[in-house]
Amino acid sequence: MINNIFFTLAEAVQYDFMRRALLAGILVALSTSLLGVFIVLRRMSLIGDGLSHVSFAALSLGLLLGTSPLLISVPIVMLASIFIFRLAKNPSIDGDAAIGIISGTGVALGVLIASAGKGFNIDLFSYLFGSILSVTNAELVMLGCLAALVLFFILFFYHELFSITYDEDFALCTGIHAGKINILLTLLVSAAIVLGIRVTGTLLVSSLLIFPALTSLQIAGNFRKVMFFASMFSAFSVLIGIAVSYMLDLPSGAVIVMLNALIFFLILLIKKIKI
């Protein structure tokens, strides 16, 4: 089986669309897994799910207007992420409640827009469940820019991110501008979610943030190792997932997420047995 998968990958890279798909998958895996570590450790996992629902409305609007859905979705989802961040700061509104408000509104708005533009329902379906094989060169460039921005952000603000992640109050006392770092983080998460839609679709994209981080936390002993293993698990799931979906003619997004889930539960089981 393993030999067949690697043989399939070797065969698949002969085609331009498969090379684009594999490269897009790796770039998305790198971006989402690294950002996911900070999201999971800060107990903000639901923000990915909430923003993915907002992206559904934004994508529907883009299709209705006849413009690039991803280009119009990025700024809208970014604005939504800042709104969630500001709303969660309100002492009378819990963070999860703020995400729920935006999430529900996004889905409802998306359904209304989709109903108004019945002619693009087929296109919308591909964004709901992912269509990695149809990634364009322009989208590949955007994914490359996102991955570069994520790496630069983590390398440049590593110590600030580390401090804020484990003790935000202490970070504020040391003079770190936690608010600005948080906004930059949420903006990058927003962009990663929108661009990751091509891989898994709006319904599953938040899994790319959560699973690799949770899996690496089960085995890694320090913060750097958590980020390293998260990116490795995510990239592995994407590569094998695309190969398996290509072999068995299955939806690539669902296969990728199921592989992430399988790795997580397998490592969890091994830990239980050892204990």
- Residue pLDDT, tens place only, 205-247: 778 888 888 899 888 778 888 889 999 998 888 888 888 887 7
Q: What CATH number matches the domain at 2-270, 1.10.3470.10, 1.20.1250.20, 3.40.190.10, 3.40.50.300?
A: 1.10.3470.10
For residue 47, the model assigns a pLDDT of: 77
Please report the pLDDT score of residue 119 as a whole number.
Answer: 53
**What's the pLDDT tens digit per position in 3-52?**
666 666 666 667 777 778 788 888 888 888 888 888 888 777 777 777 87
Task: Say yes or no to pLDDT of 195 above 70.
Answer: yes
pLDDT of residue 78: 85
Point out the least confidently predicted range of 52-56, 110-114, 200-204. Answer: 200-204
Q: Residue 91: its pLDDT value, please?
A: 65
Instruction: Output the pTM of the full model.
Output: 0.83
Check: CB of residue 200 under 8 Å from CB of residue 191.
Answer: no
Rg over CA atoms, the chain: 19
Residues 6+ apart with CB under 8 A from 228: 216, 220
Judge whether residue 171 has pLDDT over 60: yes
